[in-house]
Chains A and B, each alone.
Chain A
Amino acid sequence: LGPNEEEDQGFVFIRRRNAPIQESIIPIPLTETPIIKKNQVIRQSKRRSSLEKRGKRASSIGNGFVAKPHPDVNSNEFFRHIQAELPEPIKLRQLLAWCGLRALDKQTSADENALKIAKIIEQEVLNDLIDGKISTSWYHRQNGHESLEKTLPRKPHPQNIVNQRKLKEHEATLQRLKAEYEEWTKLISEINASVVNVSPSIPSSEDKISILPDEIDIIVGGLRLGNLSILHWRSLSYLYDMMAATLMQTDVPTPEDSDSSKKVWLGRWSHINKILDRRGPFCDKSFSPGHGEDILLNQCRILVIGAGGLGCEILKNLALSGFKDIEVIDMDTIDVSNLNRQFLFRPADVGSPKAKVAAEFIMKRVAGDKDDDYYLGFHLIICGLDSVEARRWINATLVNIAQDDPERIRVLIDGGTEGFKGQARVIIPTVTSCYECSLDMLNKQTAFPICTIANTPRLPEHCIEWASVIQWPKEREGEKMDTDDPTHIQWLYDIALKRAMEFNITGVTYSLTQGVVKNIIPAIASTNAIIAAACCNEAFKIITTSQPYLNNYMMYIGNEGVYTYTFEHQKKDDCPVCGNQSAFLDVDKEITVEDFIELLKEKPTIQLKKPSLTTDTNEKIYWQSPPFFEQRTRPNLEKRLSELVKDGGTIIVTDSTLPISLNVTVSYV
């Protein structure tokens, strides 16, 4: 690990010291946990955060006055140099002082003496202003300036106009409803009168009647009297529905289920509307209150890739957040081991495909056919996948689509979990760092050297590898190993166990065998829930612009307490997918083409599967496919790379398994 790298519980991440780092700590006042204790010690011993101090001048420490902006800055641009988060009166003081100082410099007069005197007086006034002796605060001002205010023409606030219009509309609605209510009251009391001695009748119209759902319940509760209560309940609830239909237009179900017999689902989106119907302090400028529901329900299309543990959570969260148009793709079928977290499936579903899409179709969509229009048909894509390859594919595809036209940018939100750890990130193709930019953060899969497996096994894993890598091809030649087939696992287990006993190695179990051959990663419902929630929150915020969204990487580590870390992962200039610079590689001048290809597969930042090489003058070095070219270029594999590419020359690398084209500039050492 380099000096700027840090290993953290299996995650290797690079902290770039120059990147803006934002700590995000979930506010849990558990004062006694070891982590919090540790944090407290850190908090006391070190400077807590230098975030707000950054970019400020030294002179801003003290009375708060910041030195004048550069003379080239126009006074009408001063406001840009004043920190937005300062209180208004301080901002005003700053602005006045700067304008004053600027005016002071520019003054001219024929009478030099007068100018001098004026300057001294003005300087003193300015000093007082800067020192805060002159108050610029209007917060506690008495109403002594009415005359001034009257002279200023007042423009009505546009929101007020809207509010007034709405007020009128609502008043009209209320009038109408009141009338209706009275009719109903009359009707009910007529019915009540026709039934024997009912004591508490419907509340009189003088009583306050709220149409809030929970308060309606109270009224209904008050009328719970034998059979009659049903009558009251029915009439009231009908009234309540009708009011709802008129008052809350948006709550009316969408056309296809607006069966007149169906009850209106009042308050369905009331939680979400609390966010979408009004502005909050963190809203984006483009946010317009009151339209969110329409965006979510009727306009936004979301693609969810992966219907596993994360996918199930994502689908549920999206549906409950109001997203209606969601498409899901997944290649897997449901396995019984999915049931500990994939709650959309039941034991009866085991064996059926996860998404209702045929396997060929998905392969075409996810792993094969470049169908840009398909992806462009969505506003946002969320990935809850367990495969690095599938992620690289979708990432590269979306970056390619967005390459030349910002209109074609489709935001990708990617979530991933492993045991108690997870991560969520927002990828804006071509704008932020992409999945490929951070490829070197992945943990390398443990690979056992073949000589250990064959000659000196020490661990149960070595015996299992022996069974699967060496014995299977030998004893069951030509047969494809299916790691989902329990009889295959059982066979491997038996072989591995025999070998382990031979070598006095303990610990080979069926479960370990399965884990090793399938490369099983532990997965639990709660981590999936946390990561899926983070992904869906970001999707919701991006689509509705109701809150600022994640920039751009959040990691969660729950092994010990709760730890999250949010940072901006930097775009890599030489990223094979989104970078515009070629990657520089120092290679041995003796390196053969074949070894160079191995190097491209091994290198953590590249990790290609089947690289094909072409020179920048368009001559083929080695192509993996089609077979015709493979055969013709195969002899080059044994040649030295330097015979085909000169020092400092560029090689264009493509890979049939990824939509990637990478320029590699080689220098021989």
Chain B
Amino acid sequence: MNIDKKTQKYDRQLRLWQASGQAALENSKVCLINGTATGCEILKDLVLPGIGSFTVVDKKEVDGADAGISFFLDEDRIGTNRAQAVTELLQELNEDVRGFYLAEDPISLIENRLDYFLQFTIVIATDIPEKPLLKLSEALWNANIPLFIVRTTGFIGYFRIVHPEHTVVETHPDSIMDLRLDVPFPALEQYAKTFDFDSMDNMDHGHIPYVVILLKYLDQWKKDHDGKLPCTSAEKKQFKQIIESGRRNVDEENFAEALANAWRAFTATKVPHQVQEIFNDPACETLTANSSSFWILARAIRDFVANEGQGLLPLAGSVPDMKADTSTFVSLQTIYRQKAKAEIAIVRSHVNKILNSIGRTSDFIHDDEIDSFCKHAAFIQVIRYRSLKEEYISDPKKAEIDRWLQDPQDNIVHYVLIRAIDKFYEANNRYPGIILNFKL
């Protein structure tokens, strides 16, 4: 048995977000404001996969309605503190997660000890009225801590992320295809030239990898067309016909693969639009000692693209499976991998230069991080959210909301209602639509 208990327990999720995702999860400290049923459900889905720790802040005493709707409360806990009660039961879910609670009123905590919330990696707020929420969100915004605002009512739910900026490197794309067929690098070009199709026997001919087939015919095409790639649909068709004519029999799967992937050869390799936008971002332009490793790496890649990369991102370095014999496939893989490695080394030197210029040591960014960033360079993402102050006060986008409301099908009506519920609560200290209100 060469596999530890933890890997076994988290097997099904590690296959989704790998060790790096798990490490990020295990280093997180999550705060839940108010141990509502929805809040507990969220924590459940975080405790099970194994966050580092969680803290529930709640002053409320459990009542029958709370216990009736939450899996993490039971009848015996009616009358006890809700934070403590739910923490005990949530803690049971995963012995590797530490649970804490604070039996204090979150609103007065926000009023008086706002910095309490700054110790967490993420804060989830349920059932907090707008006013304290604004105050909390501002503090978390300045500390760059994401705030999740959650509200459910009947069959309708709402959640909103408040965070200045979220950056993602490992976006787990379905496939990382980076073959450079239109702009083969010298080693690849050289390798393709070693294949002499005509002199091969049928066995070998049926095992030429489609990458080589495409490179070979493209090379010929470029020679015949002033170095241009096929671009009109007639040319593309003609190019495919040329490949087809090189096929010795219909059973040659490698030629079928070449035909199916021919479009990749016509598509120019370039820096994707969203990555170019990231390069143009002021955060990438002006680095400071406080810049995150994401922006330092983005800048290093940008410098690479502008210089050694000659307008292209570092090579991802992976080759998809294709019909080929083992040794050919392995050497093809090696060619891509070695090129990628060489480019990573160049990126490393850019990273070091940048770190040096902003007064950081080179161990601030590890080699693994650079490897991963280069591999995913075409898929990196920056997501920026609006602040709550903008949404509630400075720029509530009234005109747009008004326009959307004209369309009875638009879901904006739910947003308006949920905001209205909050306003109602603030004015009346109760939610609208309470049925039972007997007074003696």
Point out residues on A near B: beta carbons under 8 Å: 9-10, 25-34, 48-49, 51-52, 85, 170, 174, 177-178, 181, 208-214, 217, 247, 251, 263, 265-275, 277-278, 316, 320, 336-337, 339-341, 343, 346-347, 419-420, 452, 455-459, 486, 490, 503-505, 510-511, 514-515, 520-526, 529, 537, 541, 547, 559-560
Contact = CB atoms under 8 A, between A and B. Distances in A.
Contact of A525 (B48, B75, B321, B437): B48
A52 B1 contact: no
A85 B408 contact: yes
12 contacts: A33-B383, A208-B439, A209-B439, A274-B154, A274-B435, A336-B5, A341-B12, A343-B48, A346-B92, A456-B329, A529-B41, A560-B171
Given A456-B326, A456-B329, 18 more contacts: A25-B411, A27-B411, A28-B159, A32-B383, A33-B383, A85-B408, A270-B65, A271-B65, A277-B435, A337-B9, A340-B9, A340-B49, A455-B325, A458-B322, A458-B324, A486-B1, A511-B11, A525-B45
Interface stretch (B110-118, B121-129, B294-302, B384-392): B384-392
A320 B92 CA distance: 19
Q: Closest 9 A-B residue pairs measured CB to CB? A: A267-B64, A268-B68, A27-B411, A267-B65, A526-B45, A522-B16, A525-B48, A458-B329, A523-B12
Nearest to A9: B174
A309 to B, nearest CB: 8
B174 A10 contact: yes
Contacts of B78: 263, 265
A520 B12 contact: yes
Given A212-B437, A213-B64, A537 B11 contact: no
Contact of B160 (A30, A48, A452): A30
B437 to A, nearest CB: 7
Contacts, number: 203
B435 A525 contact: no
A196 to B, nearest CB: 28
A505 B433 contact: no
| Most B Cβ at <10 Å: residue of A170, A263, A277, A456 | A456
Given A265-B67, A337-B8, A520-B15, A212 B436 contact: yes
B63 A214 contact: yes
Nearest to B13: A524
Contacts of A320: 37, 68-71
A277 B435 CA distance: 9
Interface string B375-417: 0000001011110000100000100000000011101101100
Contacts of B172: 559
Contacts of A48: 407
Given A27-B414, A520-B11, A217 B65 contact: no
Nearest to B332: A458
| Most B Cβ at <10 Å: residue of A208, A211, A339 | A339
Contacts of A174: 438, 440
B61 interface: yes
A537 B155 CA distance: 8
B85 to A, nearest CB: 15
A521 B11 CA distance: 10
Interface string B42-75: 0011001110000000000101110111110001
Contacts of B70: 320
Interface of B: 1-3, 5, 7-16, 37, 41, 44-45, 48-50, 61, 63-65, 67-71, 75, 78, 92-95, 154-161, 171-172, 174, 207, 274, 321-327, 329-330, 381, 383-386, 391, 397, 407-409, 411-412, 414-415, 433, 435-440
Nearest to A541: B155
A510 to B, nearest CB: 5
A85 B407 CA distance: 13
A141 B7 CA distance: 73
B14 A511 contact: yes
A29 B415 contact: yes
Nearest to A277: B435
Contacts of B384: 32
Nearest to B5: A336
Contacts of B415: 27, 29
A597 B423 CA distance: 66
A487 to B, nearest CB: 8
A520 B324 CA distance: 27
A526 B16 CA distance: 13
Given A31-B386, A456-B324, A503-B326, A336 B71 contact: no
B381 A34 contact: yes
Contacts of B48: 339-341, 343, 525
B221 to A, nearest CB: 28
A486 B64 CA distance: 47
A419 B10 contact: no
Contacts of B13: 340-341, 522-524
B434 to A, nearest CB: 8
Contacts of B65: 213, 267-268, 270-271
Given A217-B61, A336-B5, A278 B435 contact: yes
Given A268-B67, A274-B433, A525 B438 contact: no
A515 B2 CA distance: 15
Nearest to A319: B71
Contacts of A266: 63-64
| Most A Cβ at <10 Å: residue of B48, B70, B158, B160 | B48
Given A213-B64, A343-B48, A525-B48, A337 B11 contact: yes
Contacts of A339: 9, 48, 94
Given A32-B386, A213-B64, A320-B70, A456 B325 contact: yes
B68 A505 contact: no
A340 B12 contact: yes
Contacts of B321: 458-459
Contacts of B383: 32-34
A267 B434 CA distance: 12
Contacts of B323: 452
Contacts of B439: 208-210
Contact of B50 (A263, A268, A340, A346): A340
Given A52-B409, A456-B207, A511 B3 contact: yes
A316 B154 CA distance: 17
Nearest to A23: B409
A213 B63 CA distance: 7
Contact of A490 (B2, B412, B414, B440): B2
A502 B158 CA distance: 55
Contact of A505 (B207, B322, B326, B386): B326
B155 A547 contact: yes
B340 to A, nearest CB: 14
Contacts of A277: 435
A27 B381 contact: no
Nearest to A562: B159
Contacts of B436: 212, 270
A340 B329 contact: no
A267 B414 CA distance: 27
Contact of B161 (A30, A452, A458, A514): A30
A109 B92 CA distance: 89
Contacts of B322: 458
Given A27-B414, A32-B384, A511 B7 contact: yes
Nearest to A521: B12
Contacts of B94: 339
| Most B Cβ at <10 Å: residue of A51, A52, A213, A247 | A213
B329 A271 contact: no
A144 B327 CA distance: 97
Contacts of A178: 440
Nearest to B61: A217
Contact of A247 (B10, B37, B386, B438): B438
B44 A529 contact: yes
A504 B386 CA distance: 51
Nearest to B416: A27
A473 to B, nearest CB: 23
A664 B1 CA distance: 51
Contacts of B16: 419-420, 522, 524
